[in-house]
Structure 1
Amino acid sequence: MPGPAPYRRFVALGDSFTEGVGDSDPDRPNGLRGWADRVAEVLAARAAAAGEDFGYANLAIRGRKLVPVLEEQVEPAIALQPDLVTLYAGANDIVRPKVDLDALAVAYDEGVERLTTTGAQIVLFTAFDPGQGGLYAPIRGRFALYNEHVREIADRHGAVVADSWRIAHRLPGGLVASDARLWDVDRMHLGPAGHQFVAMMVLDALGLADHGLEPVPLAEALAVPRLQRARADLDWARRHLAPWVQRRLTGRSSGDTITPRRPGLAPIE
């Protein structure tokens, strides 16, 4: 006979990473799937096998900085009486021209402390290692410091860490987290393969290694001629980087008109 399901009330908090941006599915709310849905699907199957109900809520909204995530999502999450909460926020702060990571860590710690009042298992995330090249390489140190704060907060509150910085050690075939095949065309959000890897990482961190998920098959990595690569970079800058910079300059966010796609606990198929 199946044993009890490990989790029956899963609530995901955060920004575009948790909302699922980059992993399109027109049949789902906001047209997205994402790693959190993938985790919920595994947990729902385990609950069904044990003859138990399962509910999943996703309160994440793209573009949100850390403090707004905490202010807007923590109390609604607590009200749902979850037994599992995932929280990732801060990347949208790190990439701003100026950021006080120590002050953010204080706010983050207070938010996690409030979440622990539910008795739920809390899962926090480190940021991906941007590597020594590419868009975010100049602020690699910020990501590393942020990650140390996250690990300390997790230790203090008994949270599990899904360690995205070290995900390269979990990727098969010598992949690294900066591999373009894991990312969406905007180079800012994970693609389906990346979201699948994160789902596997979260389930592994929870001790549910027999989750049955497999990596998404990737196309063969091909060498790209320099001129073709330069043209692709220019096209990316026009289509994705320029709009992102314009929103920063005008104080707008990609999530200004977005609402949580799963605001209450509900089954997932």
Structure 2
Amino acid sequence: MFWWQDEVAQGVRVAFTDRGAGNLALHTGDDPEAVRSRRAALERSIGVAGGALVFLDQVHGTDVLDADRQDRPGVPTADAAVTAEGVPLAVMVADCVPVVLVGEGPQGPVTGVAHAGRRGLLDGVLERAVEQLRGRGARGLSAWLGPSICGSCYEVPAAMREEAAARIPAVAATTSWGTPALDLRGGARERLSALGVGVVEPTGAAGSSCTLENEHLSSHRRDPGSGRIVGLVWGAGPRRRDAA
């Protein structure tokens, strides 16, 4: 079920699923009840209450959800989320980079997730997420980068590589067969490092972190029907702002 998981701070766990957990997205044409059943099984496996895990309606944008809002929509449209109250968070991917962020706030851990695809990465989704976390008082931020398509596999038109590299030079790459490519992971690593965020790149039990190369992971490019894997952060709460 898990490509990798670990306790990354006192009481806080980060994990990335593999295809053993099944497709966890409702927007891929899968049976909605089957997806909800898998999500419930995932929640049981990580020990959170049913329905507590926040999934996003991801649109390759830069909006950041305040997961602590009492009036939070049931399925919020956003590509990142933050919490200072221990809300369990999920981010779905199938080639884009799932980023999980953890820092220490005034009353305990402050955590977040971000969906860093090409468009969101270039438009600043990571900057927005880090800004929101630091606005909650987060110090000592670290980011865990989960499985994504690698720069040796993510072929794009030359003009797209040039446009992307003009904004984030570290994304420029070449495929293993010699054509223009993008290295989303390299771009995310560069942006986070420039923001003063420590970057961790786990090595999963299911092998390579390239989603296209590793059939244990979901890749839209390799197989659009493979669904979505997720990055997760949980175990820091729940807490309230007025908690002692």
| Between structures 1 and 2, the one with greater strand share | 2
| Between structures 1 and 2, the one with greater helix share | 1
Q: State the TM-score bracket (shorter-chain normalisation).
A: 0.3 to 0.5
